Amino acid sequence: MAMVAARRATIALVVANVLSAVGNPLTMIALPLYVFATTGSAARTGLVAVFQMIPFIVASFVGGGIVDRVGPKRISVLSDVMSGVSIAAIPILASLGELELWHILGLAALGALLDGPGVTALFAAIGAENVLWLDGATFLVSAALSWPTCPRASATCAGSGCCSGSPGSSSSAT
């Protein structure tokens, strides 16, 4: 019975980390795009990207020690709560008309700060080899889910490039 409970807890941790792993790259792309769309400033956009990456890189180096002291499950939960609250605060402040660049920089850094240890927690909980199996499986599931959306080759587009998305094809904007 204890083995079943431990297995369920590990599965829950893996599923939670997979969901979190979906959000991290979305934020890494969406936040700089948001800054560029709202400010038009490439410099501010780059600054936000730096404030996202530096804390993640630094925290990744010390993440193992943090996970060892606090525990992988607690770090996983803490990292997701901190990331979720910090990133959700950005549209909340924007909707209130109170969002400033320094808010975005601080919240982006805070959101990224525990992401490194959060990822490390998954490795500590299930092992690096199992993380690689999981990662490979997620790519295969993604391909399987995407496959039905690919157009079938037909005689009318054979050789014309319309199914490949190449320049000059019917699917490209002119």
As a whole number, mean pLDDT of residues 89-104 equals: 95
Question: In this prediction, what percent of the chain has a pLDDT beyond 90?
Answer: 29
pTM of the model: 0.67
**CB of 124 within 8 A of CB of 67?**
yes
**CB of 113 within 8 A of CB of 82?**
yes
Q: Domain spans of the chain?
A: 2-140
Q: What are the helix (H) ranges across 40-98? A: 42-70, 72-95
Note the pLDDT tens digit of each residue in 28-72: 899 999 999 999 999 999 999 999 999 888 888 887 888 888 887
**CB of 117 within 8 A of CB of 75?**
yes
- How far apart CA 112 and CA 106 sit, in angstroms, is 10
- Those residues whose C-beta lies under 8 Å from the C-beta of residue 154, and which sit 6 or more positions away, are 163
Note the pLDDT tens digit of each residue in 126-171: 787 887 887 788 788 888 888 888 777 555 555 545 445 544 444 4
> What is the number of alpha carbons within 13 Å of residue 164 lying toward its C-beta?
8
- How far apart CA 99 and CA 89 sit, in angstroms, is 9
pLDDT at 19: 78
